[in-house]
Amino acid sequence: MKASLIIIGNEILSGRTQDKNLSYLATWLNEIGIQLSEVRVIRDEEDEIIDTVNLLRKKYDYVFTTGGIGPTHDDITSESIAKAFNVDLETNPKALAILKEYYKDSELTEARLKMTKIPKGAELVENPVSKAPGFKIENVFVMAGIPKIMQGMLEGAKIHLSGGKPVKSESIDVFMPESFIAEELSNLQDKFKDVEIGSYPFVKDSKYGTSLVMRSSDETKLSDCKAEMELMISKLV
Amino acid sequence: MKASLIIIGNEILSGRTQDKNLSYLATWLNEIGIQLSEVRVIRDEEDEIIDTVNLLRKKYDYVFTTGGIGPTHDDITSESIAKAFNVDLETNPKALAILKEYYKDSELTEARLKMTKIPKGAELVENPVSKAPGFKIENVFVMAGIPKIMQGMLEGAKIHLSGGKPVKSESIDVFMPESFIAEELSNLQDKFKDVEIGSYPFVKDSKYGTSLVMRSSDETKLSDCKAEMELMISKLV
């Protein structure tokens, strides 16, 4: 099962805010056997959101979006998603009930009521942090951009997701430049086609090293690959 | 002038590595008056790289790529870019000279020589950190994924970039929920069309607050907007 993430927000593209949702979602999806295959970061612009959602929801099993479902003028995600699915954006009675329970009447401003407008036919996704919910429409999950809220919503989205076998990973760090082991690595990759082998250089205490990362949903092949990798390294050191 | 970034790497999509290049590039481009308008994170797969590069290089003035130009089997960016431009990947004499000067003959392994293979017609982009260069082909800048190296390469790429007026920003933090100022903000945005106004909630010392961010390449309008924003806030507090 494959998923994509659409990060919606000018604040990410301006460099003001460092995204933290990508790596969290990727790791979380791995654990339930879903591969994050593509991410797009786009501006808060209606046409961009509509086109991107409509393209990716056909290409992947699941699409997640983050950002733009708050109360202010620059929060246009819900409306854009409704347009993408060609449905009305309307006050959702459950969402209204949730906010009515959370806020006093005087606090339930016009701006907050904006957060109860949900595309017709969508199911709510619970927000345990600040209540205003996300939603799911077909295979698209629309979530907040604030990491804590997004993480809470993911737990609520879980019941709607069916994955495969979780992807496990093994990692070995060696203090040699990756170019010294490139040929052997390539041979190992040819031998273990079901294991994704990555090589990532690092610098630690002024010494060059390489992280060798193996990832697979087949635990036997993963451990076989790791054993051969260790043997290979012991011959090179 | 508008740019896009293609982050190439399974390690980003698996959640293993947190990308740091997006926000650095975005901020760096702002300063020379180029807007980062879209980012895509894709897997180390030839077809994905070719299709994404060919789409975005027509859509934006500049395209930057990070990742996949190292010496190992999973580094397939240079070859894929050559295919995207329908040119040969060949040993670049300047790149070879650079590595020959940097490495002893015995260190210049087959794997390292891979890093001298550059698409025909491309210009090198200097790598002040670890020497193996990036390159520029038409409006596409191909850079390393390691942040320090990428940042060094950007300085080398600068002479090829022409931007507009730098985008300046102003930011005001207020300790009130964004929903309390949503209506006024929306009016302010309507009044200042050349200023991009964003509203970003935060929590600090258990208190809810909102960062109000104004961005514009027109400094007069930016300071006028800030003055009105301050007046607006003083009335609400």
Cβ-in-10-Å burial (0-12, 13-18, 19+) of B149 comes to buried
Higher model confidence: residue A107 or residue B53? B53
Which residues make beta-bridge pairs with A90? Answer: A118
Residue type, B63: V
**What's the mean pLDDT in A6-27?**
96
Distance from CA of B230 to the nearest CA of A (A): 18
What is the spatial distance between Cα A80 and Cα B201, in angstroms, rounded to a whole number?
21
Q: Does B37 touch chain A (CB under 8 A)?
A: yes
- Sketch out chain B's domains with CATH numbers: 2-160 (3.40.980.10), 168-236 (3.30.70.600)
Token couple for B189: 């945005």
Which pLDDT tens digit goes with each residue over B175-198?
A: 998 888 999 999 999 999 999 999
- Is the model's pLDDT at A203 over the cut of 90? no
Contact A38 B37 (CB under 8 A): no
Q: Which residues of chain A make contact with B169, given a CB cutoff of 8 A?
A: 14, 16
Which pLDDT tens digit goes with each residue over B118-146?
A: 999 999 999 999 899 999 999 999 999 99
**What's the mean pLDDT in A208-215?**
93
Which residues make beta-bridge pairs with B123? Answer: B136
Residue type, B66: T
Q: Which residues of chain A make contact with B11, given a CB cutoff of 8 A?
A: 198, 200, 213
- Is the model's pLDDT at A201 over the cut of 90? no
What is the spatial distance between Cα A120 and Cα A96, in angstroms, rounded to a whole number?
14
Of B23, B39, B179, the CB nearest to A18: B23
- Residue A85 makes CB contacts below 8 A (sequence gap 6+) with A119, A121, A137, A138
**What's the mean pLDDT in B197-226?**
92
Residue type, B95: A
Of the candidate ranges A111-125, A141-155, B97-111, the one whose mean pLDDT is the lowest: B97-111
Diameter of chain B by CA atoms? 72
Contact A178 B74 (CB under 8 A): no
Q: Which residues of chain A make contact with B110, given a CB cutoff of 8 A?
A: 182-183
Distance from CA of B182 to the nearest CA of A (A): 5
Q: Which residues of chain A make contact with B10, given a CB cutoff of 8 A?
A: 196, 198, 215
Q: Which residues of chain B make contact with A204, given a CB cutoff of 8 A?
A: none
Q: How confident is the model at residue A236 (pLDDT cuts 50, 70, 90)?
A: confident
**What's the mean pLDDT in A192-201?**
94
- Residue B103 makes CB contacts below 8 A (sequence gap 6+) with B112
Judge contact between B199 and A70, C-beta under 8 A. yes
Of the candidate ranges A138-142, A196-200, B117-121, the one whose mean pLDDT is the lowest: A196-200
Match 């100022």 to its residue by tokens.
B181
What is the spatial distance between Cα B86 and Cα A102, in angstroms, rounded to a whole number?
59
Contact B182 A114 (CB under 8 A): yes
What is the spatial distance between Cα A164 and Cα B207, in angstroms, rounded to a whole number?
41
Verdict on whether the full-model pTM lies above 0.90: yes
In this prediction, residue A177 carries a pLDDT of 87
What is the spatial distance between Cα A69 and Cα A180, in angstroms, rounded to a whole number?
49
Nearest Cα to Cα of residue B26 among A42, A16, A15, A39:
A15
What is the spatial distance between Cα B233 and Cα B174, in angstroms, rounded to a whole number?
8
Q: Write phi, then psi, for A35 (nearest 5 degrees).
A: -95, 125
Distance from CA of A30 to the nearest CA of B (A): 7
What is the spatial distance between Cα A28 and Cα A20, in angstroms, rounded to a whole number?
13
- Residue B10 makes CB contacts below 8 A (sequence gap 6+) with A196, A198, A215, B43, B44, B74
Q: How confident is the model at residue B201 (pLDDT cuts 50, 70, 90)?
A: confident
What is the spatial distance between Cα A98 and Cα A133, in angstroms, rounded to a whole number?
8
What is the spatial distance between Cα B195 and Cα B213, in angstroms, rounded to a whole number?
10
A-proximal residues of B, 72-101, CB under 8 Å: 72-74
Q: Does B1 touch chain A (CB under 8 A)?
A: no
In this prediction, residue B106 carries a pLDDT of 87
Q: Does A112 touch chain B (CB under 8 A)?
A: yes
- Is the model's pLDDT at A205 over the cut of 90? no
**What's the mean pLDDT in A35-58?**
98
Which pLDDT tens digit goes with each residue over B22-46?
A: 999 999 999 999 999 999 999 999 9
Distance from CA of A44 to the nearest CA of B (A): 10
**What's the mean pLDDT in A175-193?**
93
In this prediction, residue A13 carries a pLDDT of 97
Q: Which residues of chain B make contact with A167, given a CB cutoff of 8 A?
A: 14
Nearest Cα to Cα of residue B14 among A202, A59, A197:
A197
Q: How confident is the model at residue A179 (pLDDT cuts 50, 70, 90)?
A: confident
What is the spatial distance between Cα A207 and Cα A41, in angstroms, rounded to a whole number?
35
Nearest Cα to Cα of residue B142 among B110, B112, B111, B115:
B115
Q: How confident is the model at residue A148 (pLDDT cuts 50, 70, 90)?
A: very high
Q: Which residues of chain B make contact with A10, given a CB cutoff of 8 A?
A: 196, 198, 215
- Classify A206 as helix, strand or coil: coil
**What's the mean pLDDT in A86-113?**
94
A-proximal residues of B, 154-183, CB under 8 Å: 167, 169, 178-183
Q: Does A12 touch chain B (CB under 8 A)?
A: yes
What is the spatial distance between Cα A84 and Cα A53, in angstroms, rounded to a whole number?
7
Match 């060798």 to its residue by tokens.
A212
Which pLDDT tens digit goes with each residue over A115-127?
A: 999 999 999 999 9
In this prediction, residue B203 carries a pLDDT of 80
- Residue A233 makes CB contacts below 8 A (sequence gap 6+) with A172, A174, A181
- Classify B53 as helix, strand or coil: helix
Q: Write phi, then psi, for A216 (nearest 5 degrees).
A: -160, 155
